[in-house]
Structure 1
Amino acid sequence: MKDVRIEGYASLFWTRDLNDDVTAAGAFKESLQAGPIRMLHQHDEAEPVGVWDEAFEDARGLFVRGRIMSATPRGRLVAALVGAGALDGLSIGFRQVKARRDGALRVLSRVDLWEVSIVTFPMLPAARLRVV
């Protein structure tokens, strides 16, 4: 089995997620400059499933492009599930650095981004991947 190339938006700016979080443009800038972002499955840090070759902010949000690696059993499983359409969500793992409250919303203006996971149910329903 070959590595599976994927891409998508892991976060969309100014879009409320199911946890009442909203990410401001520029929130990921420092993390992206600091080093690589990990690719996990369901936020499980014990078994990375691939690599993000690119991660950047554009006008819409945080865009990622990478490869699910077939070298591990979990990578093969995730690749097969993505290929079948059973997994298509993206979700970010982060630590809040700077945020403010706006009513019920938490507006994240700076975060320490640890990882972007391939997930079944993303906290931000519009955060989806596609196979390229």
Structure 2
Amino acid sequence: MSQFSKFDPTAIRIAPALDVEVKAVGDGHIAGYASTFGGKPDRAGDIVAKGAFRRSLVEHAREGTSPAMLWAHKIEEPIGKWATLQEDDDGLHVVGRINLKTARGREAFEHISAGDAGAFSIGYLIPEHGRQYNRDGSFTLTDVDLVEISVVTVPANPRARIATIKSLSSKAELVDLLHEAGLAKTAAARVANAGWAGLNGSDYHQKALRLLASIEAATARLRSE
């Protein structure tokens, strides 16, 4: 159990923002990595360990709740809702949708589209024994209570990217998006040829978003090495 009330805004810690590269914007869907595992410490001196979000995600699922989607960590300014949150080998992958029926949602949508807001940042609590001190002075976060994930303007961690996507209507559009995500044009064509059929179905948006985000995360890691 946490040493703080889970949703006490005065106790929430804010992680440095993650770099974002907006690829395309359609009906408000956004996806990407809200946090990445391992690597160098972020600007706050923290390293997130794989599994750090596991307990919190289980609790959210059990209680039927979700971390808030906020604008710049302002609890009074929700801009949408996160639909899926899942840990994988790279980090915490999230998929959500901005509420374009609200004024703040539309404004956030326009800022993202224009490139004014280009980052994710998480708000979280650290339960007792949730982080470990490292010899180099950094800390490893092993267990956190995930409270919210914000769209913000200041980037910090170049290893994580977020992708937003429009409705894909053709294989050519998928090739273009994969190319923009970091693949060479010929490689993008090969991936699209092999994967287009797998994007069929009611959840093809989320499948495409996860594919793009994974490519971006891998590309960012290569560029940072």
Instruction: Render the CA deviation track for 1:9-50: whole Å, top value 9, x for unaligned.
Output: 111101321111100000000111112111011110011100
RMSD: 1.4
Q: 1:101 aligns with which of 116, 133, 142?
A: 133
Q: 1:34 aligns with which of 50, 59, 70?
A: 59
The 8 Å contact of residues 91 and 127 in structure 1, kept in 2 or not, is answered as: no
TM-score by length of 2: 0.56
The 8 Å contact of residues 43 and 117 in structure 1, kept in 2 or not, is answered as: yes
The 8 Å contact of residues 18 and 123 in structure 1, kept in 2 or not, is answered as: yes
Q: 2:153 aligns with which of 108, 120, 130?
A: 120
> How many Å apart are 1:128 and its aligned residue?
3.2
C-alpha separation in 1, matches of 2:100 and 2:153: 19
The 8 Å contact of residues 42 and 118 in structure 1, kept in 2 or not, is answered as: yes
| Matches for 1:3-82 after TM superposition, within 5 Å | 3-15=27-39, 16-35=41-60, 36-82=66-112
Instruction: Render the CA deviation track for 1:87-129: whole Å, top value 9, x for unaligned.
Output: 1200110011211110311100000000111111144343432
Q: Tell me the secondary structure at the aligned position of residue 109 of structure 2.
A: helix
C-alpha separation in 2, matches of 1:95 and 1:20: 16
Q: CA 1:10–1:96 in structure 2 vs 1: closer, same or farther (change >3 Å)? A: same
Structure 1's consecutive aligned runs of 4 or more residues displaced over 6 angstroms after TM superposition are none
> How many Å apart are 1:64 and its aligned residue?
0.6
The 8 Å contact of residues 89 and 121 in structure 1, kept in 2 or not, is answered as: yes
C-alpha separation in 1, matches of 2:152 and 2:132: 27
The 8 Å contact of residues 11 and 124 in structure 1, kept in 2 or not, is answered as: no
Identity across matched positions, percent:
39
TM-score by length of 1: 0.92
Matched, 1:85 2:124: no
**Considering only CA atoms, is the larger Rg found in Structure 1 or Structure 2?**
2
Higher strand share: 1
Higher relative contact order (CA 8 A, sep 6+): 1
C-alpha separation in 2, matches of 1:61 and 1:5: 19
Structure 2 residues not aligned, in runs of 5+: 1-25, 61-65, 166-225
Q: Which residue of 1 aligns with 2:194?
A: none
Instruction: Render the CA deviation track for 1:34-78: whole Å, top value 9, x for unaligned.
Output: 121110111100111000111110000001111011121111100
